[in-house]
Amino acid sequence: MPQPDHHGISRRSLLRGAAAGGATMAASPLLGLSAVAHAEDLNSGDYTIRYDTGARQTILGLGFEIQSDSIGSGNNGMPSLVSGVPYDLTAAERTRFYQQMLKIRSDRGFRYCRLALGLYHRGLDETGKHMIDRYPGQTELLGEMIQQAGIEGIAAEYWSPAPGWKSNNSYIGGTLASHDPAFLDQLGDAMVGDLDFLAQRGIPLSMWGLQNEPSASTAYSSCVYDAAQYLAAFKAVAPKIRAKYPDVMIHADSQYGWHGDRGKAILADPQALSYVDAWTFHRVGKNSDEQISGDYTSGAAGKLVFNNEFEYLHPSSPFNRTLNTAQSIMNWMVFQNAPTWFWLHALKPTTNSESRGYSLGFWRPRHDTDFSRYKHIKAGHWDFNPENWNAVAGFVRYMPWNSVRHHVEEPRHTDGTPYRDHRIMAWKTPQGKPVFALTNRSSSTPFTYTVDTQTAAAFQGHRFGPSTHNQTLNTRTGPTLALTVPPLSIEFWVQAS
């Protein structure tokens, strides 16, 4: 179906612009350096934002995943219980969810919604080969969410093909039943049909992926492909997706990108590579410093690179999660020229042990009567998870779709690497308004940024942190701003006029 054009710019044009920005920066001397441990007891630094000649990639907007069906606590199994969002929420809570989390601004907030086909959308027709709703109105509710929240579209991705195509006739585990060309041709037609089912019910399509984490067999929906199997399936299915939905961004391999064996197999095959728009990585809960010293671009063959899943698997981390998440967004974009970034789930249920590390908020399913957990949340209601939400919210609110990142001249350590606890990212909105973000990951020492903004305009500040949400700061007037950021804080400075 035709895809929405929110700004009069086709997605293909945006991809070309973002890729050009990535190519410009791929030769940065910071990439490929080994990580260096620094005891950053620094308290100040001088910065110049190149709003004049420093335009880099277009930042398309951020993404999230929606749990529209059930999964076992601790990711253990797939209950028959029907539970998910928006389904479990009351009508008023659905509207509040759309407006306060997903949209957040008056126009739009998150751009993409990742939908796990075969997991959170896993109903089956009588043949077991085609995905449909598992409960009445499932897709229509997703369409309502997308429309009311102003989301561009779904990032559709398989956690497993339908069981009728599997070696074990199950969503959980196994491989494809065959890798013969005729079988894969039929699989491709069925996968196009799965997208047709969504599109015909009002779901716009923005991205497509063949398989989430294709090396992993899990206790929930999964399908394992080795490199040769992934290549064969991709070559059979991707051309069909491109033919039917030409504006959909096709990505691979939703785990290791071009680094892994499956990505390398695609790189070695020009035909397969021609269908790849982007390489997707999962750096789940990793230290954001990875994106400063790691290399995600040199072997990308000019394709986009981005993280399409980030969350925390364990209850504790060696760093502050709120600041680490914010810096993951910034470092992917500054050092790897990523055009987008995805958090895992918008809401997770109060019933699941993994919910705190996976969610931007919690909802209480209708069946949950154990109020020893999140006792203030009523059945059918939801609330924010500040530890994660406060890390992401400022970017959704103050970095509109199609903002353009601008280079910042910043201080370096003596070994040439930038400060890790004190990060900066600058951009202009599509209307040309300058904005920049600052972090202080130190748990004890304030840090003063002296920022040459190249403009005499006034800037309004907004502060976030583990327990701080959108605190308004005093307006400051440029061109040079001396901004002292408290420990464990994220600040957004937006031109006020």
Q: What is the pLDDT of residues 108-118, one digit of tens each?
A: 999 999 999 99
CB neighbours (10 Å) of residue 467? 10
Confirm whether 35-57+402-495 and 60-398 share one CATH topology: no
Q: How is the beta sheet containing 63-65 ordered, strand by strand?
A: 304-309, 278-282, 249-255, 205-209, 153-158, 112-117, 63-65, 342-349, 359-363, 382-384
How many CB atoms lie under 10 A from the CB of residue 16? 12
Q: How far is CA 313 from CA 112, 125, 239, 319, in A?
A: 23, 34, 35, 14
Pairing of strands 63-65, 342-349: parallel
> What CA–CA distance (Å, rounded) separates 166 from 387?
39
Instruction: Could you please state the CATH topology (level 3) that the domain comprising 35-57+402-495 is classified under.
Output: Immunoglobulin-like (2.60.40)
Could you tell me which CATH number the domain at 60-398 has?
3.20.20.80
- Give residue-wise pLDDT tens across range 400-422: 999 999 999 999 999 999 999 99
End-to-end CA distance of the chain: 40
- How many residues in the chain? 497
| All structural domains of the chain with their residue ranges | 35-57+402-495, 60-398
Q: Is the CB of residue 191 less than 8 Å from the CB of residue 237? A: yes
Q: Residues near 53 by Cβ (< 8 Å), separated by ≥ 6?
A: none
Q: How far is CA 114 from CA 50, 88, 139, 231, in A?
A: 34, 19, 14, 23
pLDDT at position 39: 56
Report which of 395, 400, 389, 447 is spatially closest to residue 423, judged by C-alpha positions.
447
So what's the pLDDT on residue 9?
46
Confirm if 348 and 335 have CB atoms less than 8 A apart.
no
**CA nearest to 311, candidates 114, 469, 134:** 114
Provide the 3-class DSSP secondary structure of residue 111. Answer: coil
Residue-wise pLDDT tens for the chain (497 aa)?
333 333 334 555 555 555 444 434 333 333 333 333 455 778 999 999 999 999 999 999 999 999 999 999 999 999 999 999 999 999 999 999 999 999 999 999 999 999 999 999 999 999 999 999 999 999 999 999 999 999 999 999 999 999 999 999 999 999 999 999 999 999 999 999 999 999 999 999 999 999 999 999 999 999 999 999 999 999 999 999 999 999 999 999 999 999 999 999 999 999 999 999 999 999 999 999 999 999 999 999 999 999 999 999 987 888 999 999 999 999 999 999 999 999 999 999 999 999 999 999 999 999 999 999 999 999 999 999 999 999 999 999 999 999 999 999 999 999 999 999 999 999 999 999 999 999 999 999 999 999 999 999 999 999 999 999 999 999 999 999 999 999 999 999 999 97
